[in-house]
Amino acid sequence: MSSRFGVASIVALIASGTWLSGCIGREIAGAANAWNGAAFSAEMFDPAHPDKPVSRIYLGDGRVRLESEDTSSIGAIVLDPAHGTTLIVNDPAKSYIDAGMFTPLVTIGFAPLMKVLRPAGSGDPCSQWNSAINPFGAFAKNSKNGQVQQWTCKSLGSESVNGRSAQKWAVASNDPNDGPMTIWVDDKLHVLSRSQDKDGTMEMRNIHEGPQPDSLFAPPANYKKISISGLLGGMLGGDSSKSGSGAASFLQKLQGAKPH
């Protein structure tokens, strides 16, 4: 399990998410429940590399916004399942895509991510993660051993993370390629406030509890709207041997899409 939560990986759900369509009716409710809880905002950063751009998360009222300070990438993705809203914001180009037609698919794809970020309650987080993975077992099997990935957690007591009390857990996976992982779950917000694995460290800082402004989850007033039908048409009609495929191709087309 990676400790990274990148905008690009989430955008990829739109490019490759149609295989989830058969699960829509069953999983939307579970996805919506994945981010219920106290509203907050926070910065996510790598303490071992303080020079790297930070990411920010805004969460509340069943809505989430993830954004990055990396000016070379897309600025943010916004998901509001209750209102059928999915926005991909390109800050460098001052434009955005309203991908609302994909909201049910993106919501389903977000469910495991949100359960990783915010395990429900104060109990064993691995039980929550395993329940999130189970509905996707047919697609989540390890390519080498054919098993659905599962995790086990061992309590290591409590510690403070940037001045906030948290429960510390050692995490092991049945995938030998994963290696050990350690996580800290915030006692009040029940979110991962720190995680460490072989790929590095993710940590939350500057956590602010309370309702988040509605403007964070709406299209920026001074940004141009991009036609998603034209974008997808170009993807489907292009020569994949020249333009590439998957998330990388999608992001390239997104960066170069023309406003209407």
- Per-residue pLDDT at 116: 75
Q: Are strands 95-98 and 224-226 parallel, antiparallel or unpaired?
A: parallel
* Mean pLDDT in residue range 36-44: 89
* Mean pLDDT in residue range 125-134: 76
Distance, in Å, from the CA atom of 256 to the CA atom of 17, rounded to the nearest integer, reads 22
Lowest mean pLDDT among 42-51, 107-116, 212-221, 238-247: 238-247
Residue 29 lies in a domain: yes
* Mean pLDDT in residue range 134-158: 69
Angle in degrees, 0-180, between the axes of helices 246-256 and 7-16, rounded to the nearest 10: 100
Q: SS3 string of 148-211?
A: ECCEEEEEEEEEEECCEEEEEEEEEECCCCCCCEEEEEECCCCCEEEEEECCEEEEEEEEEECC
Of 240 and 107, more confident: 107
Lowest mean pLDDT among 24-38, 95-109, 162-176: 24-38
- Per-residue pLDDT at 65: 92
Phi-psi region of 212 (alpha: psi -120 to 50; beta: other; left: phi over 0): beta
For 154-188, the pLDDT digits (tens) are: 999 999 999 999 999 999 988 888 888 999 999 99
SS3 state at 60: strand
Is the pLDDT reported for residue 256 higher than 80? no
Structure tokens given for 2:
């990676």
Q: How many domains does the chain have?
A: 1
Q: How far is CA 66 from CA 7, 112, 167, 231, in A?
A: 7, 16, 24, 22
Strand order in the sheet with 224-226: 151-161, 164-173, 181-186, 192-197, 200-209, 40-45, 55-60, 63-68, 76-80, 85-90, 95-98, 224-226
Is the pLDDT reported for residue 148 higher than 60? yes
178 φ, ψ (degrees, to nearest 5): -75, -45
Closest CA to 136 of 158, 156, 111: 111
- Per-residue pLDDT at 132: 66
Residue 97 lies in a domain: yes
Distance, in Å, from the CA atom of 75 to the CA atom of 30, rounded to the nearest integer, reads 27
Residue 15 lies in a domain: yes
pTM of this prediction?
A: 0.73
Q: Strand pairing partners for 225?
A: 96
- Per-residue pLDDT at 131: 74
Helices and strands, counts by H and E, the chain? 7, 12
Residue 187 lies in a domain: no
**How sure is the predictor about 41, in pLDDT bands with cuts at 50, 70 and 90?**
very high
Residue 20 lies in a domain: yes
Please state, rounded to an integer, the average pLDDT across all residues of the chain.
74
- Per-residue pLDDT at 25: 39
Identify the domain containing residue 208 by its residue range: 7-122+131-141+204-256
Residue 54 lies in a domain: yes
- Per-residue pLDDT at 122: 67
Residue 164 lies in a domain: no
Residue 215 lies in a domain: yes
